[in-house]
Amino acid sequence: MAPSHHSHRRQKQTRHAARLGIAGGVTGVLGVGAVAGLFVVVRAHGDRTEPTPRTVAARTSATSVKGPRSGGVRSLAQLKTGAKLDVSTPDGFSYSLAAVKAGTSDRPLASTRTAPPNGATLGYVDYVITNTGTAPALLDFPADLFVKRSFAAGTARNRCMPQPGAPADMCTLPDHTDVVNTLGFAAPRTKDEDQYIPAGASYLVRVATDLPVSTSTGGRDLGLYVWNPRFAPDRRAIEVPIP
């Protein structure tokens, strides 16, 4: 059930305002090729000096959200995923997360504005988020990308933050998340400037680092974890296994 008007307003005050972007030109999902572009919202996970990560969720604008245009992955059945992780929020929303693939790219998201420096690249992980509830749920992005600290490039290593529950040699950099494919499900609907994923719907999303990693970084050097206290009340990182 969606939160009340007043609790919804309080929730808005505590989360990042994400902006609309176009998540096109994404490549490398199981060798399928480019994932079709969507008008979607971007979640930014920035200043890791905060004691706790702020609640973040999708926001919309006048631009409508659309489904896949052409080519690429078109259904959930086309994706090979790892074991699912079920999470829920104090608001009563519930989701399952299942990782698809980890990799690197100089432009992992269409919203990526700054190219990595020479000799470096950016890391990403694709995962599926499903609304497991019986009503529309806030389009939220619970997971963050972790990288082995030795692969964070240059001064980015100083911004790579360890988290309890994750391996000691892994840390998380500032990142962004885009929805890259609605996988044939209905697009999110807008209410009070937020977007809601339909009950039972699954979307393919990509979380990518804002700061560079070494070009020698491989999929095994990246991980996907949930550590936002909205989803991990004990504040210990929980792994979403990458197949």
Give me 51's structure tokens.
């004691």
Mean of the pLDDT values across residues 5-18?
37
Chain position carrying tokens 């994923």: 197
- Tell me the per-residue pLDDT of 163-213, one tens digit each, with 9 for 90 and over: 999 999 999 999 999 999 999 999 999 998 899 999 999 999 999 999 999
Give me 48's structure tokens.
């890791």
- Tell me the per-residue pLDDT of 71-100, one tens digit each, with 9 for 90 and over: 477 889 889 999 999 999 999 999 999 999
Chain centre to alpha carbon of residue 155: 24
The rounded distance, in Å, linking the Cα atoms of 165 and 235 is 8
> For residues 152, 158, 161 and 162, what is the CA-based torsion angle, rounded to 10 degrees?
80
Angle among Cα 169, 171, 175 to the nearest 5 degrees reads 155
**AA identity, residue 71:** G
The confidence score (pLDDT) of residue 114 equals 81
In b/e form, how buried is each residue of 118-148, taking b as 16+ CB within 10 angstroms? Answer: eebbbbbbbbbbbbbbeebbbbbbbbbbbbb
Average confidence score pLDDT of the chain = 78
Half-sphere exposure of 64 (CA within 13 A, CB side): 5
* Whether residue 40 has pLDDT greater than 70: no
Of all residues in the chain, the percent with pLDDT exceeding 70 is 70
> For residues 63, 66, 68 and 69, what is the CA-based torsion angle, rounded to 10 degrees?
-70
The confidence score (pLDDT) of residue 13 equals 33
Element of type H or E holding 5: helix 5-13
Higher pLDDT pick, 130 / 112: 130
Mean of the pLDDT values across residues 52-78?
48
C-beta of residue 151 within 8 angstroms of C-beta of residue 119: no
Residue 154 falls in which region: left (phi positive, over 0), alpha (psi -120 to 50) or beta: left
